[in-house]
């Protein structure tokens, strides 16, 4: 299961890089230290809702878009966890195999 702070950090970093912005650009716009922003992006620090709002403003990206992407990543991870590694063989297969041998 993914960790929320890691997923938020990865999404923020992806958006920042897609926009061609540096950590310095966003840290000054969000009024947060460059080091702290770096730790948030790497999932080492958990951003408060106020800090997340400031970072989103600096990225000119609605927080709902960031959180939706994080939510989509969690949904994908959860669906992967429910898929069995080795699918079970349906009950009818042994019967089909035995009937094929008697022919």
In this structure, which topology does domain 4-84 adopt according to CATH? 434 Repressor (Amino-terminal Domain) (1.10.260)
Q: Tell me how far CA of residue 40 lies from CA of 5, 10, 24, in angstroms.
A: 7, 9, 14
Task: State the pLDDT at residue 100.
Answer: 60
pLDDT tens profile 37-77: 999 999 999 999 999 999 999 999 999 999 999 999 989 88
User: Mean pLDDT of all residues in the chain?
Assistant: 86
Q: In degrees, to the nearest 5, what angle opens at C-alpha 36 toward C-alphas 35 and 40?
A: 120
Q: Is 82 exposed, middle or buried (0-12, 13-18, 19+ CB in 10 A)?
A: exposed
| Of residues 34 and 95, more confidently modeled | 34
Task: State the pLDDT at residue 1.
Answer: 74
Per-domain residue ranges of the chain: 4-84
């Amino acid at each position: 299961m993914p960790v929320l702070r890691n997923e938020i950090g990865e999404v923020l970093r992806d958006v920042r890089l897609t926009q061609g912005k540096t950590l310095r650009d966003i840290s000054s716009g969000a009024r947060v230290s460059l080091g702290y922003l770096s730790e948030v992006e790497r999932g080492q620090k958990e951003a408060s809702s106020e800090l997340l709002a400031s970072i989103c403003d600096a990225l000119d990206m609605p927080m709902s878009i960031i959180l939706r992407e994080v939510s989509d990543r969690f949904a994908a991870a959860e669906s992967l966890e429910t898929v069995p590694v080795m699918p079970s063989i349906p009950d009818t297969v042994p019967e089909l195999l035995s009937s094929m041998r008697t022919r």
